Chains A and B, each alone.
Chain A
Amino acid sequence: MFLDLRMHPIKIDTIEQTKIKLNIKFGNKNMNENTRIEKFNFFLELSKPHVYESLILNRSLTLAVALLYDRERSANSSDSLENVSAFSEEDIRDCLRRVLPTEQREQRERYNQIIRDLQIHFLWRDEERGTYRLKEYARDFCKLMYNRLERKFQPTYTKRIFNDLMASLDAAIDKIDDDYETFIYWVDYYFEQSRIEISNQVEVLYNRVDETVRKVRDEVKPDSNDLLLTLQQAEQNVECLIGDADELNYIFRASESIRERLDQLQHKTNAQVFGNRITRVSNFLLDTTDDLYLVRQRIRRIRPHIQRLFNVRQREFDLNTGKFLEYLLKNSKVVHKNGARILELPSNTREKYLFQDKIAFTQLNKQTFVTPKPIRVERPAISKEVRQKQEQTYNQQIERERQIQLWLEDIQSTIELIGEFKLSSVFFQILDSQEDGTAMALEVVQRLIRRYTFMPQHQVKIGAIIRKPSHPHHTIREIIVKS
């Protein structure tokens, strides 16, 4: 049988294409390695030029990215509604300045290059807004380090992990007759997630014990004044570790419980369908409880040792405190200074200072600064009659004074002209000139006497009593003023 190729054209593959097609169909493992679909080689990929450096940053760049991560974390934990997970280029330069100080003239170029390089795996650039965000790889990169450094032993959290594991295992086992894949899912998903965290917690506890032991070994020096402090801290750390170790009891019981369930499962079902999963989980739990057991034993071994050291020093310190009190009481004295009695401690005890900031707020009374309100002045009501009478009296006084002044001037002129004057004449003259002129007459005479008595160029002589028939009730001594 012949095929007329002119009627039935067929496509001729290359030899390579043919081999690939045969491999796909028949899965021939003896095919040449180079002709297989290319397999991913992690080591080779990582070794390629620039790949490693773009994925694993040096110290300065790692710290710069950590700063950005920290800022993003802080912003996410606050209530701010701002889109603070975006950074400006200046923010990134700030971080770089902090961790990689560079001379001004080289700074721009160098930082630009770094920012470009970081965009491969660490930063997204939003060209429209001109902002940057961390890529998921950067977050994972930082989160791994953050969790590693921030790790604390959290017994409550660990208990919860085991509780959840047991609950989810029970649920999977209940369904296993209908669907055995639920158990596979439990191992591959629930267990695998918890395994990392459980391992971390064990490691944290172990590291804490190591740290405590290292501190005691390196920092405890017999003559050091800090010895007591160091031992006190170590002793307290160990007490806390003991507390944490006691929490491990729950974990031991929970692990045992899970392993029992797995044992039962193994005997009950055709465990081959699960592969080595049951063994894997059991072995992990066994290793974990062994590690925790070792940690607990270690804590229990170092505790008495540290306690012994601490107690000896503590006892000595306590004893010395009593001696110090006695020393203070016997050697302190009361002295007189500036008129007051003050207590002085022994001269070989140095004065100790405690920091106390005197924060004082001066509260000002508002009244000091506020202009007082105007006071309402109540003017007394004055009656018209009283007013008139007052005016009249005033006018009379003015008139009287005017008249007295006229008399005085007149008399003074006479004295200056003649050189002598008899006051009795003016006295009676005034009495004659007006009704009830006694007061005025007396006033005039009195003023004249007062004036001329103190004038050295005048003499005042007092003579006999003078009477006048027209004024029988008035008498006056003759008073002569001579210049």
Chain B
Amino acid sequence: MNSYHFLNDPDACSVFAELDYTLRRGTHVQRQFRGQEDVFRFLERNFESLKSYYKTLFGLSLEAAGGLDEYSYYYLDATENVKNRVPPELRQSLKKESVLIGIFLCKIRIDLSDVDTVSGFKKALREEYEAYKNDFFRLLAYVTTDDHLEADEQSVDKRIEAAFNEFHRLGWVYREGDRFEIMPSLERLRLLYIDEINNIDKLR
């Protein structure tokens, strides 16, 4: 007799493996992400027993965030307070370039921009947010002047592509070709830096 009731769910055989790989890859699970619907519903139904499973056997924390239904998402976390049996080298930090690009993505979402393509995002950076442009080129293409060559543009574009691929893998955006859709779990990026954001006036 154990508390892992999810094993008795009728969909366990067909869904659990995918759920486990998805969560372990660091992917965030939400209803809106195409292809994750079954995994999301299974998580919703069996959240408590899955939480117990990951905590007891792996020292990992299965988190639910975002509130109810429409905005909710799930992910695995290895927090400092949880006894972590997974070796430290399996923790990965988000690429710093992706942090910059991700926070910028949050910014343009806050500004209610209707950007929904990666090319549109690149264009927004160059045209609508010119104040940030030089800093982005300095940090992503290592350009120290305001004069940007074609090669510099390509470097920046490459970083943006890589960042969006990473966000898709994390489940923060759903990307199909050039189009993307921001997922509720993108909010996690801001929540990771919530201390810094809330205390920004002290940091500056």
User: Which single member of B26, B140, B198 contacts A320 (CB below 8 Å)?
Assistant: B198
A352 and B71 within 8 A (CB): no
Q: Mark B70-81, 1 if CB is under 8 A from A, else 0.
A: 110001111000
CB contacts (< 8 Å) of A342 on chain B: these are 96
Of B30-38, B113-121, B189-197, the stretch lying at the interface with chain A is B189-197
Instruction: List A contacts of B99 (CB < 8 A).
Output: 328, 345, 352
| Complex CA–CA separation, A357 to B132 (angstroms) | 34
List B167-204 residues whose CB lies under 8 Å from chain A: 170, 190-198, 200-201, 203-204
CB pair A329 B139 closer than 8 Å: yes
A334 to B138, CA, bound (A): 8
Contact at A91–B110, with CB atoms within 8 Å? no
User: Is A86 an interface position by the 8 A CB rule?
Assistant: no
In the bound assembly, the distance between CA atoms of A95 and B76 in angstroms comes to 30
Q: How far is the CB of B115 from chain A (nearest CB, A)?
A: 16
Of B66, B135, B195, the residue contacting A225 (CB under 8 A) is B195
Q: Which residue of A lies closest to B190 (CB)?
A: A321
Q: Is A450 on the interface with B (CB-CB < 8 A)? A: no
Residue interface mask B127-150, A partner, CB < 8 A = 1: 000001001101110100000000
Q: Are A328 and B1 in contact (CB under 8 A)?
A: no
* Closest residue of B by beta carbon distance from A226: B194
Q: Which residues of B contact A70 (CB under 8 A)?
A: 5
Main secondary structure of the interface of B (DSSP, over half): helix
Q: Is the pair A324, B193 in contact by a Cβ cutoff of 8 Å?
A: yes
Whether, in the assembled complex, B15 has its beta carbon less than 8 Å from a beta carbon of chain A, the answer is no
Q: Indicate if the CB atoms of B91 and A71 lie closer than 8 Å.
A: no
- The reply on A354 being an interface residue by CB < 8 A is yes
CB-CB under 8 A from B26, the residues of chain A are 354-357
Which residues of A sit under 8 angstroms from B8, Cβ to Cβ? 74-75, 77-78
Q: When chains A and B are docked, how far (Å) is the Cα of A330 from the Cα of B203?
A: 12
| Cα distance, A235 to B71, chains bound together (Å) | 11
A322 within 8 A of B: yes
User: In the complex, are the beta carbons of A359 and B21 less than 8 A apart?
Assistant: yes
Instruction: Give CA–CA (A356, B194) in the complex, Å.
Output: 21
Which residue of A71, A343, A350, A357 contacts B24 across the interface (Cβ within 8 Å)?
A357
Taking the closest CB of chain A, its distance from the CB of B32, in whole angstroms, is 15
Q: Are A324 and B103 in contact (CB under 8 A)?
A: yes
Whether the Cβ atoms of A317 and B198 lie closer than 8 Å is yes
Interface status of A351 (Cβ within 8 A of chain B): yes
Evaluate contact between B107 and A74: CB separation under 8 angstroms: no
In the complex, what residues of B have CB within 8 A of residue A429's CB? none
A236→B90 contact, CB < 8 A: no
CB of A322 within 8 A of CB of B93, answer no
CA gap between A334 and B143 in the complex, in Å:
10
Min C-beta distance of B67 to chain A, whole Å:
3
A232 contacts B by Cβ under 8 Å: yes
Given A322-B110, A352-B93, A356-B25, A233 and B67 touching (CB < 8 A)?
yes
- Complex Cα distance, B110 from A232, in Å, reads 15
Q: Would A348 and B110 count as touching, CB distance under 8 A?
A: no
State in angstroms the CA–CA spacing of A350 and B192 once bound together: 10
Within 8 A of B (CB), among A348-367: 348-359
Residue-wise, chain A 430-460 has the 8 Å CB interface mask toward B (1 for contact) of: 0000000000000000000000000000000
Contact B71 A359 (CB under 8 A): no
The chain B residue sitting closest to A234, CB to CB, is: B67
Residue of B nearest to A358 (CB): B90
| A355 close to B77 (CB less than 8 A) | yes
Q: Say whether A343 contacts B139, CB under 8 Å.
A: yes
Contact check, B132 vs A354: say whether CB atoms are below 8 A apart.
no
B131 CB to nearest A CB, Å: 8
**Nearest residue in A to B8 (C-beta to C-beta)?**
A74
A391 close to chain B: CB less than 8 A: no
Query: Which residues in B have their C-beta under 8 angstroms from that of A228?
Result: 194
| Interface set, chain A 172-191, CB cutoff 8 A to B | none
Which chain B positions have C-beta within 8 A of A359?
A: 21, 24-25
The docked-state distance in angstroms from the alpha carbon of A352 to that of B95 is: 10
Report chain B residues within 8 Å CB of A474: none
Instruction: For the complex formed, measure the closest distance between the CB of B139 and the CB atoms of chain A, giving whole angstroms.
Output: 5
B162 at the interface (CB under 8 A from A): no
User: Which A residues are in CB contact (< 8 Å) with B197?
Assistant: 317, 320-321, 324
A325-B132, A334-B139, A354-B93 provided; 9 other pairs, C-beta below 8 A?
A71-B1, A321-B197, A334-B138, A352-B94, A353-B78, A355-B78, A356-B92, A358-B90, A359-B21
**What are 21 A-B contacts with C-beta separation under 8 Å?**
A78-B10, A79-B10, A229-B65, A233-B66, A236-B68, A317-B198, A324-B193, A324-B197, A326-B132, A329-B136, A334-B139, A343-B96, A352-B93, A352-B94, A352-B192, A354-B91, A355-B26, A355-B78, A355-B92, A357-B86, A357-B90
